[in-house]
């Protein structure tokens, strides 16, 4: 009770664990223990609700055997003072986990204000889980060739549409965001068809886990369920089967761990670079990573850090003396001219020509977005970097750089023509990285921005003209 009394009483508090206290009718247990009586008074003082009562009344969370008798109680509980929407508490009574305690899973939703709901809608593109593919297979000839062929055939209609929009500009701005989404979806589908997607690893993922171990675990649980539901002499048989399955499963886990460790050691012996990288990783794991906090709670910490990051990006750090303005667009053969004039027609396919080349026809004006230059820039993009909100990485673009460079040349020209960049290129996922000093000061955190790789290519293409 001393530990429980030391917990501060804050809004939206959740407390869970093995309390070793029986609360009787409050949870549907058979009796009230002395510790349970003291805990009931503490719950009333803190206005805390035991979710086991309304959500799983009478379902044991601990089942054991004493003196050849099955005994059960409700001592593992969820406590909260929050208002929950659609709460659900699942107690895994049919899983054999090598423990007398049962696995409890609580799921619920929070009530959100209209303001927070509207903000969540606008930022949906940046909050959903990152999409992953088996990109290592792009190093194999057959999957890589399939990826290139699929992208080439799938992107042909989009390429024709971009050409038409640039060569025959409409009266109003075309749906550039939709065009960018189409390009992303083409890359997604091409990766799905060639190398396949890969679901994110769950938090409980283990390197040594195999399908054989999964089958052994399922067989152990199946024997346990049969024992729970058996009667008479069958109960003895299935308990014996469960014990044997549990022993076999534990031994298989030990063997798998040993083989995984031996394989890991051999890989370090044969690859010095991997050994150094692993040593650095182990060293970082033992270092404490600082996170920003505030005495007034996490909500205030979020507001303070948000204000700090906004001050970093508000432009006051830019030099007072700025570079000169870019040249007059009309002198560059760009797709727009002086006010009142009709847009010039640009053909990025002719961008490989130098400005000093011979005169071009109306349909082959010089563009600053050369496919050859874009292909070179794609090849120079760094790898093994976190993607932006569109999930696109440099490793995905390098194998298709030849076809992609022509498509991006038209897309970048269209963006230049209408002075508009897709919204995904203008959004970044910002993460504060602690540098040194006092971790409670937001100024000691340096933000990093994860932006779209297409935005980076556009910036690199425009940098010679800035």
Q: Where are the domains of the chain?
A: 2-111, 127-200+297-318+326-465, 211-276
Instruction: Show the CA angle centred on residue 458, arms to residues 454 and 464, nearest 5°.
Output: 155
CB 104 within 8 A of CB 62: no
pLDDT tens sequence across 279-289 = 888 887 777 77
> Distance between CA atoms of 148 and 403, rounded to whole angstroms?
8
Mean pLDDT value of segment 259-280: 87
In terms of pLDDT, which residue wins out, 344 or 10? 10
> Distance between CA atoms of 122 and 124, rounded to whole angstroms?
6
Does pLDDT of 378 surpass 60?
A: yes
Helix (H, G, I), strand (E, B) or coil at 110: strand
Output DSSP code: residue 162: H
Closest CA to 188 of 390, 426, 383: 390
Q: Where are the beta strands (DSSP E) in 322-417?
A: none
pLDDT tens sequence across 331-369 = 554 444 333 333 444 444 444 433 333 333 333 434 689
> Distance between CA atoms of 268 and 5, rounded to whole angstroms?
50
In terms of pLDDT, which residue wins out, 120 or 5? 5
Which contiguous run of DSSP H or E holds residue 396? helix 394-397
CATH number of 2-111: 3.60.10.10
> Distance between CA atoms of 53 and 24, rounded to whole angstroms?
10
The residues, any chain, with a CB within 8 Å of residue 376's CB and separated by 6 or more, are none
DSSP string, 263-330: HHHHHHHH-HHHHHHHHHHHHHHTSPPP----TT-HHHHHHHHHHHHHHHTSSTTS-SSPPPPPPPGG
The 3-state secondary structure of 324-354, one letter per residue: CCCCCHHHHCCCCCCCCCCCCCECHHHCCCC
Mean pLDDT value of segment 139-158: 97
> Distance between CA atoms of 87 and 102, rounded to whole angstroms?
19
Tokens linked to 375? 């292909």
**Helix segments in 124-210, DSSP class H:** 124-127, 141-167, 176-194
Does pLDDT of 212 surpass 90?
A: yes
In terms of pLDDT, which residue wins out, 194 or 325? 194
In terms of pLDDT, which residue wins out, 9 or 351? 9
Mean pLDDT value of segment 121-142: 74
Percent of the chain with pLDDT over 70: 86
Burial class (CB in 10 A: 0-12, 13-18, 19+), 317: exposed
Does pLDDT of 175 surpass 90?
A: yes
What was the pLDDT predicted at 69? Answer: 76
What was the pLDDT predicted at 364? Answer: 41
Determine the longest span between alpha carbons in the chain, in angstroms.
100
What was the pLDDT predicted at 125? Answer: 42
Global pTM?
0.65
pLDDT tens sequence across 222-253 = 999 998 888 888 988 998 999 999 999 999 99
Closest CA to 406 of 362, 382, 361, 373: 373
Backbone angles phi, psi at 405, to 5 degrees: -65, -40
Range of 3-12, 24-33, 119-128 with top mean pLDDT: 24-33
Does pLDDT of 193 surpass 60?
A: yes
Does pLDDT of 126 surpass 70?
A: no
């Amino acid at each position: 009770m001393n530990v429980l009394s030391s917990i501060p009483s804050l809004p939206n508090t959740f407390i869970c664990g093995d309390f070793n206290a029986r609360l009787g009718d409050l949870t549907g247990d058979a009796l009230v223990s002395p510790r349970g009586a003291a805990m009931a008074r503490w719950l009333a003082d803190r206005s805390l609700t035991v979710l086991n009562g309304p959500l799983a009344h009478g379902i044991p969370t601990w089942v054991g055997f004493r003196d050849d008798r099955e005994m059960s109680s409700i001592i593992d509980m969820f406590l909260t003072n929050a208002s929950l929407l659609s709460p659900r508490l699942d107690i895994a009574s049919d899983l054999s986990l090598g423990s007398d305690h049962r696995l409890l899973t609580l799921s619920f939703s929070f009530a959100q204000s209209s303001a927070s709901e509207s903000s969540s809608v606008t930022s949906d593109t940046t909050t959903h889980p990152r999409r992953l593919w088996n990109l290592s297979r792009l190093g194999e000839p057959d999957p890589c060739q399939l990826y290139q062929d699929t992208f080439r055939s799938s992107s042909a209609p989009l390429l024709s549409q971009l050409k038409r929009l640039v060569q025959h500009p409409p009266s109003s701005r075309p749906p550039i965001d939709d065009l960018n989404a189409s390009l992303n979806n083409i890359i997604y589908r091409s990766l799905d068809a060639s190398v396949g997607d890969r679901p994110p690893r769950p938090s409980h993922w283990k390197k040594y886990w195999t399908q054989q171990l999964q089958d052994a675990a399922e067989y152990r649980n199946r024997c346990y369920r049969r024992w729970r539901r058996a009667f008479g002499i069958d109960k003895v048989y299935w308990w014996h089967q469960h014990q044997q399955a549990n022993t076999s499963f534990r031994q298989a886990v030990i063997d798998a761990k040993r083989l995984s460790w031996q394989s890991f050691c051999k890989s370090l012996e044969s690859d010095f670079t991997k050994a150094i990288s692993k040593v650095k990783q182990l060293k970082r794991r033992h270092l404490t990573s600082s996170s920003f906090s505030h005495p007034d709670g996490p909500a205030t910490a979020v507001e303070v850090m948000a204000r700090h990051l906004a001050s970093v990006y508000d432009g006051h750090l830019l030099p007072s003396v700025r570079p000169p303005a870019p040249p007059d667009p009309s002198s560059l053969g760009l797709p727009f001219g002086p006010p009142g004039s009709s847009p010039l027609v640009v053909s990025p396919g002719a961008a490989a020509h130098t400005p000093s080349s011979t005169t071009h026809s109306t349909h082959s004006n010089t563009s600053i977005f050369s496919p050859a230059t874009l292909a070179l820039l794609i090849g120079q993009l760094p790898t093994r970097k976190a993607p932006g909100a569109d999930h696109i990485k440099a490793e995905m673009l390098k194998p298709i750089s030849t076809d992609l460079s022509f498509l991006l040349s038209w897309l970048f020209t269209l963006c230049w023509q209408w002075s508009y960049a897709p919204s995904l290129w203008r959004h970044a996922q910002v993460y504060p990285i602690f540098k040194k000093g006092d971790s409670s000061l937001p100024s000691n955190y340096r933000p990093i921005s994860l932006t779209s790789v297409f935005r980076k290519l556009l910036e690199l293409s425009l940098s010679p003209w800035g």
